[in-house]
Structure 1
Amino acid sequence: MTEPTPPQLKPMPDDWSRALAVVAHPDDLEYGCSAAIAAWTDAGREVAYVLATRGEAGIDTLAPDECGPLREREQRASAAVVGVTEVEFLGLRDGVIEYGVGLRRDIAAAIRRHRPELVVTLNHRDTWGGVAWNTPDHVAVGRAVLDAAGDAGNRWIFPELAERGLQPWNGVRWVAVAGSSSPTHAVDAGPGLERAVRSLLEHRTYIEVLTDEDPETYARTFLTQTAERAAPRFGGRPAVTFEVFAR
């Protein structure tokens, strides 16, 4: 018997001009989808980043007051590699983000500020493909992003935002979840892969604590293998995958 052909992934929508990526920590986007972001900025699209935390609890050997500023610098440098210059930090405490009204409000405010058509976030489910437990921060932020995309357009949910000059924005057309175990769409990873590797390497301090492997070998292997796993579902092309929720 032949193996069933896996369902093919659709190309990502391309009729948009502005995207906002909202994730919990520095390096979340670099592990998740920076090759796609490089392709988008190459095409002249605007992409901005919003990070809920500065990742200050991510390195056991560095105290948070030292680690936070270092990881923020690494994130800004990492974003620049793929053509992103606008990087914001919400300043929430790393590791203990709670899903709730406050988080939805913060993200809705960011969406109103940036007025994107596409919002990108990271896997909000309990596990990574059913084999590894996800972190509470990823789950809380990803879920709040999906909700805040609607909150941003409803003037009656957070009226205090309008009082701060942030008028409702109902222009979000899609929310794309990177790292999902149920992807629906993909972006060809080839054109942006080299920059994705360089972008991840900007998080060198974190990588050197995470693994004894040579940082470049580690980054290249991780991103290449991840992209190649999607190839059978995207016409044989290595790809960055997303689960896309249309609005």
Structure 2
Amino acid sequence: MTTPGPSAVPTPSPTDPSAADTPPAARPPAPEHTQKPAPQAPQGAHALVIVAHPDDADFGAAGTLATWADEGFDTTLLVVTRGDQGGLEDEDMTAQTQRREAEQRAASAVVGVRDVRFLDGFRDGWLEPTFELQKEIVRVIREVRPARVLTQSPERNWDRLFSSHPDHMAVGEATVRACYPAAENPHAWPELVSELGLAAFKVPEIWIMGHPEPNHAVDITDTFERKVEALHQHVSQVGFLPAGALETRLRTWAEASARAAGLPQGRLAEVFKRVWVNAAPPGN
């Protein structure tokens, strides 16, 4: 078993039914974490979140997205599939995907994400980091021109294998490739320039959730209730849980992440691998 390095912050997984009872062991603090009060985003700043399925962004980053909204970020959520393999067994697939799309839009509204987009032609459970998928992601990156991109980990976490869904890894890999070098290369899919007028764009930074070695924590104590409310919108995914169970699990994961990141007792956090692509880290 590979053990993350000394600066790693363990990432609780939202997909493990037993995770609430087995929080990850505390490790030394991450080398950086957000401070309170949070800085305000530059006027007109955009963020782009790219995930495989409805509910992925909310389990992994809803508290952070709500924090960004409070800071002034205008966030776009791009969901690659409509979650057609994650609904009710006796539900028609068309109805299922419509339900999951509606659930995601409702959840996003709770945390202040107003622009929610779904890609067509990509199936839940069948994702690969193909050039077709990369092109679609590059298109959206150039449309949104975000100050930061948040996505899923392209790296498998052997300590918490259930967090490494193949679709998550595929979207993470496709997104990282799209951020660098494709989005900033005008010769990558030149028709995006000639036909759509989408000029090349350099992504400043990437935030990766579910990474085995995160280096950045966001204090979500003040936005935790919005995270819980957002996830309650995904009735098809969490409606079967006993009353209060979802909040208990989410709080356990967030407490463990905050402790491992060195935040004060009683704080809650979400953790990420923060990668500086075309921008310098703060203080440099």
The normalised TM-score by structure 1 is 0.90
Aligned to 1:136: 166
Q: Which moved more, 1:175-184 or 1:165-174?
A: 165-174
With 35-44 and 227-236 compared, the bigger mean Cα shift is at 227-236
Question: 2: distance between equivalents of 1:187 and 1:164?
Answer: 39
Conserved in 2, the CA contact under 8 Å of 1:117 and 1:171? no
Of residues 18-27 and 165-174 in structure 1, the stretch that sits farther from structure 2 once superposed is 165-174
Q: Indicate yes or no: 2:28 matched with 1:10.
A: no
Match of 2:70 among 32, 42, 52: 42
Contact 1:55 1:94 in 2 (8 A): yes
Does the C-alpha gap of structure 1 residues 5 and 130 become closer, same or farther in structure 2, counting only changes over 3 Å?
closer
Cα deviation digits, residues 14-54 of structure 1 (max 9, x gap): 66621000000000011101001101101111111000011
Q: Deviations over 1:90-149 (max 9, x none)?
A: 021111012121111110111011110100012222336344362221111011111101
Please say if residues 29 and 262 of structure 2, whose CA atoms lie closer than 8 Å, have aligned partners that are also in contact.
no
Q: Is the 8 A contact 1:111 1:152 kept in 2?
A: yes
Within 1, Cα distance between the matches of 2:26 and 2:230?
Answer: 36
- The whole-number CA distance in structure 1 between the counterparts of 2:238 and 2:26 is 38
Are residues 1:164 and 2:205 paired?
A: no
1:118 paired with 2:140, answer no
SS in 2 for 1:120: strand
CA distance in 1, matches of 2:212, 2:272: 9
Structure 1 runs of 4+ off > 6 angstroms?
none
Does residue 186 of structure 1 match 2:186?
no
Report the CA distance between 1:212 and its aligned residue: 4.1
Are 2:86 and 1:58 equivalent residues in the alignment? yes
In the alignment, does 2:127 pair up with 1:100? no
Matches of 1:198 and 1:175, distance apart in 2: 26
Deviates more, 1:104-113 or 1:155-164: 155-164
Match of 2:273 in 1: 243
1:227 aligns with 2:254: yes
Q: In angstroms, what is the RMSD of aligned CA positions? A: 2.1
**Structure 1 CA distance for aligned equivalents of residues 119 and 232 of structure 2:** 23
CA displacement, residues 172-229 of structure 1 (integer Å, 9 cap, x when unaligned):
1111011222111111111110000000000012213xx4423xx2321222111111
Task: Give the % identical residues.
Answer: 33
What is the aligned partner in structure 2 of residue 83 from structure 1?
A: 112
Once residues 223 and 43 of structure 1 are traced to their aligned partners in structure 2, the CA distance between those partners, rounded to angstroms, is 23
2:26–2:256 CA contact under 8 A, matched in 1: no
Whole-angstrom distance in 2 between the partners of 1:18 and 1:169: 16
Q: 1:21 aligns with which of 46, 49, 66?
A: 49
